[in-house]
């Protein structure tokens, strides 16, 4: 029961927003889901992790200090304007929806008012067709940093919920070589308002004698983990938790593991 409680408290129902780009994965990764040592765990220490922040109007940008100190991602960032935001200068990756009309220059690509040759990295990449790492800038420009990802995995070894997008192949990268198989990472599915896990994906003894309803979902027997946001009351049987109005299939059952260990 303690381990079940730990799983419920891992917060997988919460969305996770990434603020890092990995040059090897070529997509968003996240310290929340993967820890600080993504490069070491996933890529033998190779590659770069780049901090990305959404500045004004949700435009993704990298810190100007990161561009200055080294050739970030191997790209030549010169000629791209800086934008001041919350006490720091940022280099935008994409165009501003509302460019600063007071700027005297025009972007050589999109003609937006801007302070240098290019308003953003994407515009420079489009215009300057020579130079290194243009493919990385393209991947960066196509990464959606505003999108929250559901934490759709739970690792029984780490006792942590994470998003499979922000930490792909977790079992291999974090537990490879220690005899830990993929079965130790549980997939969390979302359907019909429920967070569900396959009955056979949890250790058998966890569910032994536990009165939680099973839901047929695409032919699989699933166990609901959390309550639904909006309960559907009025069935012949009601969830055994006094505070829950959800209908269940059999008398004496809880609608979800949450209602059992509440």
- The footprint of Zn ion (CB under 5 A) covers 16, 22, 24-25, 30, 32-34, 42, 107, 109-110, 112, 119, 123, 155, 157-158, 163, 166-167, 174, 239, 241, 244, 246, 255, 259
Min dist CB 62 to Zn ion, Å, is 16
Buried b / exposed e over 104-123, threshold 16 CB at 10 Å, is: eeebbbbebbbbebbbbbbb
Following CA atoms 6, 12, 13, 18 in sequence, which dihedral angle do they give, to the nearest 10 degrees? Answer: 150
Spatial neighbors of 196 by CB under 8 A, at least 6 apart, are 188, 189, 190, 215, 217, 222, 223, 224, 225
**Cβ distance to Zn ion smaller for residue 87 or 193:** 193
**Cβ distance to Zn ion smaller for residue 119 or 223:** 119
**Cβ distance to Zn ion smaller for residue 131 or 219:** 131
Spatial neighbors of 47 by CB under 8 A, at least 6 apart, are 22, 23, 24, 39
In angstroms, the Cα distances linking 29 to 11, 62, 171 are 18, 15, 16
Residue 9 has φ and ψ, to the nearest 5°, of: -85, 0
Assess contact for 156 and 205: CB atoms under 8 A.
Answer: no
Min dist CB 140 to Zn ion, Å, is 13
Min dist CB 77 to Zn ion, Å, is 14
Assess contact for 214 and 222: CB atoms under 8 A.
Answer: yes
**Cβ distance to Zn ion smaller for residue 98 or 219:** 98
**Cβ distance to Zn ion smaller for residue 112 or 152:** 112
**Cβ distance to Zn ion smaller for residue 87 or 91:** 91
Min dist CB 162 to Zn ion, Å, is 6
Assess contact for 61 and 85: CB atoms under 8 A.
Answer: yes
Min dist CB 145 to Zn ion, Å, is 11
Which secondary-structure segment (H or E) carries 106?
strand 105-106
**Cβ distance to Zn ion smaller for residue 87 or 148:** 148
Assess contact for 227 and 258: CB atoms under 8 A.
Answer: yes
Min dist CB 39 to Zn ion, Å, is 7
Min dist CB 135 to Zn ion, Å, is 15
């Amino acid at each position: 029961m303690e381990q079940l409680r730990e799983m419920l408290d891992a917060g997988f129902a919460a969305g996770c927003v990434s603020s890092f780009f990995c040059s090897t994965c070529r997509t968003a990764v996240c310290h929340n889901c993967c820890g600080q040592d993504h490069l070491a765990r996933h890529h033998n220490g190779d590659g770069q992790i780049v901090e990305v922040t959404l500045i004004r109007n949700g435009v993704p940008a990298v810190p100007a200090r990161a561009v200055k100190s080294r050739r970030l991602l191997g790209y030549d960032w010169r000629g791209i304007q800086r934008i001041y935001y919350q006490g720091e200068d940022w280099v935008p990756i994409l165009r501003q929806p509302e460019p600063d009309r007071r700027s005297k220059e025009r972007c050589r690509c999109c003609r937006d008012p801007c302070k240098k040759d290019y308003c953003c990295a994407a515009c420079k990449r489009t215009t300057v067709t020579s130079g290194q790492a243009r493919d990385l800038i393209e991947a960066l420009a196509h990464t959606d940093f505003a999108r929250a990802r559901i934490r759709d995995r739970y690792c029984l070894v780490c006792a942590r919920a994470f998003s499979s997008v922000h930490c792909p192949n977790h079992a291999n990268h974090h537990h490879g070589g220690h005899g830990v198989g993929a079965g130790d990472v549980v997939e969390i599915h979302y359907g019909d308002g429920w967070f569900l896990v396959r009955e056979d994906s949890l250790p058998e003894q966890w569910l032994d004698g536990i009165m939680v309803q099973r839901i047929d979902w695409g032919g699989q027997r699933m166990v609901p983990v959390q309550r639904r946001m909006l309960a559907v009351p009025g069935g012949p049987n009601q969830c055994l938790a006094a505070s829950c109005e959800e209908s269940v299939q059999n008398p004496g059952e809880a609608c979800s593991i949450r209602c059992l260990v509440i």
